[in-house]
Structure 1
Amino acid sequence: MITKINLNNVASYKSPTALETDKKVNLIYGLNGTGKSTLSNFLNKQTEEKFKNCSVDGLDENKEILVYNQSFIQENFFEPENLKGIFTLSKENKEAETKISNAKKEIEKLEIEKETKDKEFVIEQSSINQKTENAKNTVWKIKTDYSGGDRVLEFCLEGYKGSKDNLFSYIIGLPKPDQKPTKSIDDLKKDLQSISGNNAEKYPYLPKISFPAQIVENEPIFTKQIVGNENSSVSQLIKELGNSDWIKTGLQYLPTEPIKENEICPFCQEKTISNTLLESIKNYFDASYEADISFLKAFLAEYSLIIESIPSKAIFETNPKFETNKKDFEIKRLK
């Protein structure tokens, strides 16, 4: 049996307050705001943080305190909004009924949203259908404009002239070009008329322009610095002069056989050329140097032949279609 209830620092009990009794049945009454609800809430939920300074004396640990107050009603009774005054008892039933009620509200909300979306869908679908029909009519105008009579482009519509839907599906299925076409409908008509029907003209064959010189241009030797034998005694002098070709050209004016005395230098016109100097100059232009020079000469000859194989511009200018395609030709030729 509870003999004493201690309340402190909670709600209206700002200072320690005790309620003592030796009776099994006790009646507590008072004005609003005097702490009756706080007392019952404490007995109902003693473990809550706000009641940490409160306690109960005389209570058997095996006994359960049952409190019937407003909190108990809210937790254990469910009152439907449309049936005021009718309750469902038990905490579990209340939770279930609350979930069902909330679910019904959510369903009603979703149904309203669905109805709104359905109306929007019907309006949007109607707009799409109207736009699609307008597009089909626009595409069908291609058929009426370019078929029948002497319309030379009619052959492009074979198989699609009998159905607006088929022509529309065919047109929208075509891959879209990355760039705007450069030729107009009239240009296409003229091109077609020039190769078909009574107006067909035969033009002379135009040779293909090709330039395979990239193979030569990409040869590794063109990234190499060609120098002579750096172990030669005259290599440093030739480097300082900065013109090994000039030195090599002068070799043809020097004796090919050993000399008895100094010869006249083809560069300075003084008798400074000795056998030793002659051998040093020849050793500078060694086999590796000569091999690189031979490669360059061979590539030059090959490159020259490729240049000469390019058809003359005059060959193209004599063609009747040259003026029409002059711009494209010049771009191709410059590449």
Structure 2
Amino acid sequence: MIEHISIKEVATCDEYGIQITGLKKVNFIYGANGSGKTTITKYLYNPNDAIFQKCALGWLDGMPIKALVYNKDFKDRNFGKGNIDGVFTLGQATKEQTEAIEKKSKQRQEIKEEGRKQKKSLEYLNNKLLELENDFKEEAWTEIYKKYETDYKEAFRGVMQKELFKNKLLDEFETNTSVLLSHDELREKANTVFGEAPAPMPPIKSIDFVRVVEIGEDSIWKKKLVGKADVEIGSLIQRLNLNDWVNEGREHLQGDATCPFCQQKTITENFRKQLEGYFDETFLKDTRLIKSYSEELSVCTENVLNVLQQIESAERANKNTKLDIETFSAYLKTLSSQFVSNKELSHSKVKEPSRSIELVSVNEQLVNIRELILIANSEIGKHNAIVANYTVERAELIKSIWKCIVEESRLRIQHFLKHQTGQQKGIAALTKRIDDRRLKFKALDDEIRMLNKNVTSIQPSVDEINKLLSSYGFQNFRIVPCKTMKNQYQVQREDGTLAESTLSEGEVTFITFLYFLQLAKGSTSEESITEERILVIDDPICSLDSNILFVVSSLLKEIIKKIKRCEGNIKQLILLTHNVYFHKEVSFIDGRTKECNETAFWILRKINNVSSIQSFEMKNPIQNSYELLWMELKNKNHNSGLTIQNTMRRIIENYFKILGKYGDDELIQKFTNHQEQEICRSMISWINDGSHSIPDDLFIERQSATVDKYFEVFKNIFVHTKHVEHYNMMMGAQSLN
């Protein structure tokens, strides 16, 4: 059953729309043409249409039911294509078959009703469980978290939100096996462990100085490199100690006989051979080695120095350094000086190979520096071990804190878990029963569909429609089977010709409505004739004669009675009409009952091209046409000002002219002075003009003030004709505002 309808941003409904709430089993919506009735029926027929994307339907227990809609579109769909789909009913079923279907349908309905109750019970249990969990969550937050928030803030990191804290508390209750400590012990440990967390430190890079020491300690540096003494020129060079001088000059010898020293042509071939003999291969090999060592030593010392300077810079900037930085810097300064000295000595050896030199030993400084680095790295290792242990200590402390909290709140947690488990078991059991009932419902539904398929027939629906047509004077046409198509029917004249194109609008309306009523009882499908459905009917008496109005209302009242008694598969009716007499007739219960708690009433209006709806709950706002005029007048704030003139004119005509035999002039003369008479004449002219024409723009702008002024004149007509009691009676009834 539909409980709520919201129509927004379509046709004459604005962004606020119309809200039809509190729908009952039987619902009457009265509204003038163009007020939005058809829009409502179109939406209920196809709520998934894109134009209704802002609209919404609210279903009882969230369970949708198929809506069968009668409106102009229904006529076009079913009587605008030549043939009519046959409607299957149980008319040909035997008594036993019908009783079997009715019995199973009743069982299915009982299962559905029980399922609806169980669904409500399940919703109730779920809400109670949610309420229980929310209460515990709030209690855990206020009684536990807030109490220890300051002392154990570090332990609560990551769960400083109500739901997370609750879940953590329950998880620790199930899994925490830590040793139980007192709050004093926990606070004391927290002061130490929850301080600033130490960070792990990388070890200091080690240095490789083996090659530097090896080169510096090589014997080549002490060796005096001179030529061979047994060469003729050799004794002279060695006696004069010109070995290095001659060796360097030798490098400048040209290809000619010019001496690089005196620039004379003194270099003979024999002299060249003596020089080559003096500086033999051994000499050349040793000098090349000296040069190579000098270059390699320069590179190695530079690399070692760069590494050590980087270490010094980094560790001096590290406030937590484990290196004896001052001693390290002193050693490094000495080492740097030694490297400079050795660089100069090695260069001198390259220039003067005959010199015997001894490089400064850097081994001691390098060993001292390496020892400082080893000591520092040892301390760093100890520090990192402490850091690793700190993480473990911190984790153990946090577990101990939660253990203490859990034990302190054990009774509270156990109480919650006991009730939570009970609720969850109840929900699980009820869910299983609902699932089992759903399977039983489907099995029964399949049985009923099969039984329906075996005993349904189209002919009873056709016979029923033809019987009603004949009973109410439609003798010149009837519904007959289509000769070319199975389960299709046509409207045929007595002479055998097809009548659809020659039917009057009233005849089409009546036969369409009778077809709709048969469809409400059956279906165009054999399997679905007993499906639950909602009837939505829009102005079924449009274009019908007045005597047919009572026929239609009588047929509908029978359906309404069954709906109220919960008989049959029609569960709800929404009827919309603009006809006062039909509304009054179809909504009439009996002479004694004025209201029914299964019936609801609305009036749909369109003001300034925007639809609005007013609920009257169980009270029927439509009594008779004259009372309706007064209701419209009392409801002037809900209606367009353009209708007020026509309403006043019709009231005066009905009460004074038709019943009281008063003319306009006689009413005017009832006023005592000329000024009041002119005002009355003006008002009568105004209402007569406004009920037969469209006011111009200027008149519309002054409409509000004009209505208020003439409303007072309207009342004074009753006062001066001594009928004010009638005015008070009609206006003093319960307001519809």
Where on the TM-score scale, by shorter chain, does this alignment land: which range? 0.3 to 0.5
TM-score, normalized by length of structure 2? 0.17
Taking structure 1 as the reference length, what is the TM-score of the superposition? 0.36
